[in-house]
Structure 1
Amino acid sequence: MKLINKCLTAVIIFSVTVSQVIPVFAKEKTTVSSAPYINAYYAAAIDGLSHRVLYDKNANYITPMASTTKIVTALVALNYGNIDEKVTISHRAANIHGSQVGYKENESVTIRELIYGLMLRSGNDAAIALAESRGGTVEEFLNVMNEYAVEIGLTNTHFESPHGLDSDNHYTTAYDLALAASKAKENEEFSQIVEVKEIPRQQFCFSRDYRNINKILWLLPEASGIKTGYTGKAGKCLVTSVKTPGKDMIITLINSPTRWKETCKIYKYVNENYEYKNFHPANSEVKNYKYKRKSYVLKTSEEIILPIKNGSNVTERLVLPQKLAPKMNKNFGLLQFYENNELIYCSPLKCERIK
């Protein structure tokens, strides 16, 4: 629904639109298996590019999130400043309860190492140290986290800590968590960190070696991260990214006693029921456009690879503004994709002048 609303908003901005419908793809496979039972209170699987929901179990219900919080903690920390800067571990960081890397008070550690400790070892001490170093105080860092959550479209999420220990106003949904993970995977540094199984201290002159506690990296060969979590209220949680022909598929499980097994079941279900189709390369020509005797070409602004359900027909719809002058190298028009007449994705087009 969030994706469709964004597309409709874009169309409304144009006021009046012209569209052309092009049949582009009919799936040959016709077998669709029923969704498996998943032993979790909340679960979601989404496509990383389109954010299309591929599996949903109570995906929009509010719930605690445990250490999966650290996905956004890491992303905010990566977005601000030099990650090779050294910081000093505070008394507060060294004495936080819950899972720890084991940093000592007054120990000097780089931001990079703290992020590895955060994501591979789920260190609450790393979370506090990052918050203090990047925000000045933990409280100021949380303000940034919550502002960033709104910015990336997490409409049902609120942070009260950078680590995720249970508290009354610290919550998310399985869908929001998947969306946050999808955004995080767009960050190259984040992606490299979360898919590491183990890293020796010598590689970046760290203070210690790190081995990832995320078992899914060993159980599912296609997995490329991301984060485990556990608290009394959230139960066992797992956010997984799985490599696909497009961007990663993201699978989230919250309060799942058998999270490793359930993640593999969801991945198998999506693989059996969806096929990734490459519709357009990046920068490919879609349509020539004339305005006041001047000629333009409309091109895709991204590579468009979408998961299509077995037995589905897909059409493209080109939506263009009327009586508006194209602006060079600016978004102009939309390319919409419908599966069995349901809007599943839209992508902005860019405009170039034909000489």
Structure 2
Amino acid sequence: MKRKIVITTLMFILFTMKIIPAAPLNANAVSAIAIDGKTKMVLYEKNPHMLVPMASTTKIVTALVALNYSDLEEKFKVSKNAASIKGSKVGYRVSEEITVRELTYGLMMRSGNDAAITLAEGISGSVENFAKLMNEYGKEIGLLNTSFETPHGLDRDNHFSTSYDLALATIKAKEIPEFNKIASAKDVKKEEMGFTRDYHNINKILWRSEDADGVKTGYTGKAGKCLVSSFKQGDRETIIVTLNSNNRFDETMKIYKHINEEYEYKKFFTKGEVVKDIKVGNKVYNLGFDKDIILPIKKGSDIEVKISVNNIPVKKFDINLPLGKVDFIQGDICLYSETLKVIDLP
């Protein structure tokens, strides 16, 4: 990989594109995407913004909301509405009292629709109110093409998402250690967790790859077979979504193999490294990053690194303002941008 650095001084425009052109791979899915978990750079895509039903992959956001809006040890009572729901269930009985922690295990590992409704009613009082909360929270985390009507994902006219949005939701969910623990668990014994019953994860991807550590399956008549997966190799994490894919596990593994063959991770800058210095009045400020800049790059790519700094009048200078950025460019496409920060004070 060739690295060419261009330094310019110009008025700063905060603009980030995290798109890599789709590789010549045609996944057998109506919609599919692969995203790097740290940079959110798109590594593969097929109709990533198509609005489609997403079945039980909905429960990723249900779990996210539950983990953010409730106490894990709080107990919710199972209603008749929850116990009688159709589709996949844990088998909770009416009036059972189950902790939020256990309900979330049942939600993610067994894809329990009864767990989803119990969480919704316990947190928001009703499924309808919880769906409103899901939509509000979804917008907060950037799910701009998603609409929730239920916490479980059974087919509804106004219940849809995109593979891109589901990947973003998964990246957000995986910031929570408890979510990672639940989504990656294969089997849980009730005695070890203080639960009311044992749980076995129905997500076969966990057995297909030693790198797999979640996340959620889904199926309905309209949505078809869906799968959101995460793969971890050291500090590298990849999120893969396949929606309406008859061979979802095979297609996911095909995409994952393709990415590993096509991409390599390159470190461009080290945390604390001086990328550029700027003089403001009589003072010189060193600019850089508070983290290593490591990006997934197509093997053999020629990447241009363009460093831009702002023209800020001395009287208006503030180290908390955007002072510059670094663009990583391939051809005429900006693959990634990162804001420059003051890394030490003069």
Q: So what's the TM-score if we normalise by structure 2? A: 0.88
Change over 3 Å in CA distance of 1:328–1:37 after alignment to 2: closer
Once residues 100 and 179 of structure 1 are traced to their aligned partners in structure 2, the CA distance between those partners, rounded to angstroms, is: 26
The answer for the alignment partner of 1:349 in structure 2 is 340
- The letter of the residue matching 1:258 is N
Deviations 1:145-180 (A, max 9, x none): 111211222221100101000010100111111121
Change over 3 Å in CA distance of 1:171–1:239 after alignment to 2: same
- The letter of the residue matching 1:332 is L
Residue of 323, 330, 333 corresponding to 2:312:
323
Conserved in 2, the CA contact under 8 Å of 1:316 and 1:338? yes
Residue of 32, 37, 40 corresponding to 1:43:
32
Residue of 256, 273, 282 corresponding to 1:293:
282
Shift of 1:354: 2.4
Deviations 1:171-220 (A, max 9, x none): 01111111211221122221121111111112221111111100000011
Equivalent positions of 1:179-198 (< 5 A) are: 179-198=168-187
- The letter of the residue matching 1:45 is A
Conserved in 2, the CA contact under 8 Å of 1:118 and 1:127? yes
Once residues 113 and 37 of structure 2 are traced to their aligned partners in structure 1, the CA distance between those partners, rounded to angstroms, is: 28
Q: Which moved more, 1:129-138 or 1:57-66?
A: 129-138
The answer for the alignment partner of 1:9 in structure 2 is none
Conserved in 2, the CA contact under 8 Å of 1:308 and 1:339? no
Residue of 172, 187, 199 corresponding to 2:161:
172
The answer for the alignment partner of 1:266 in structure 2 is 255
Once residues 65 and 245 of structure 1 are traced to their aligned partners in structure 2, the CA distance between those partners, rounded to angstroms, is: 30
Once residues 186 and 219 of structure 2 are traced to their aligned partners in structure 1, the CA distance between those partners, rounded to angstroms, is: 20
Change over 3 Å in CA distance of 1:230–1:259 after alignment to 2: same
Q: Return 5+ residue gaps in structure 2 as ranges.
A: 1-8, 14-21
Deviations 1:53-108 (A, max 9, x none): 21112222111000000011101111123212122112211111111011111111
In angstroms, what is the RMSD of aligned CA positions?
Answer: 2.2
- The letter of the residue matching 1:200 is K
Conserved in 2, the CA contact under 8 Å of 1:330 and 1:351? no
Equivalent positions of 1:1-355 (< 5 A) are: 16-17=11-12, 35-324=24-313, 325-328=316-319, 331-355=322-346
Q: How many residues align?
A: 328
Shift of 1:258: 0.9
Shift of 1:348: 2.2
Shift of 1:15: 8.3
Conserved in 1, the CA contact under 8 Å of 2:272 and 2:343? no
- The letter of the residue matching 2:154 is L
Which secondary structure does the structure 2 equivalent of 1:285 belong to?
coil
Q: Return 5+ residue gaps in structure 1 as ranges.
A: 1-13, 19-32
Q: Which moved more, 1:188-197 or 1:287-296?
A: 287-296
Once residues 348 and 188 of structure 1 are traced to their aligned partners in structure 2, the CA distance between those partners, rounded to angstroms, is: 27
Which secondary structure does the structure 2 equivalent of 1:139 belong to?
helix
Which secondary structure does the structure 1 equivalent of 2:323 belong to?
strand
Shift of 1:133: 1.7
Which secondary structure does the structure 2 equivalent of 1:116 belong to?
helix
Q: Which moved more, 1:276-285 or 1:227-236?
A: 276-285
The answer for the alignment partner of 2:6 in structure 1 is none
Shift of 1:329: 5.6
Change over 3 Å in CA distance of 1:291–1:74 after alignment to 2: same
Which secondary structure does the structure 1 equivalent of 2:154 belong to?
coil
